[in-house]
Amino acid sequence: MADEKELKEGGQPLSNADLKQLTDLLSTVKHGSVTLIIQNGKVVQIEKNEKFRFV
């Protein structure tokens, strides 16, 4: 319950560094996905899966 209270009082689930890393990854993915792994309301891992298509 403390995590919910923390979020309501202005805490953020993403730090500024996490947000920067997420936006950097999103800008580089052409085909694929970015997955956030969250524990106790905080991001603990960011995964990037990219597909390469050969036409």
Q: What is the pLDDT of residues 23-49, one digit of tens each?
A: 998 999 989 999 999 898 888 899 999
Confidence of residue 15 (pLDDT cuts 50, 70, 90): confident
Domain ranges of the chain: 2-50
Give the number of other Cβ atoms within 10 Å of residue 4's Cβ: 10
Residue 42, classed as helix, strand or coil, is strand
Whole-number Å distance between alpha carbons of 39 and 32: 23
Whole-number Å distance between alpha carbons of 36 and 16: 15
Q: Record the pTM.
A: 0.62
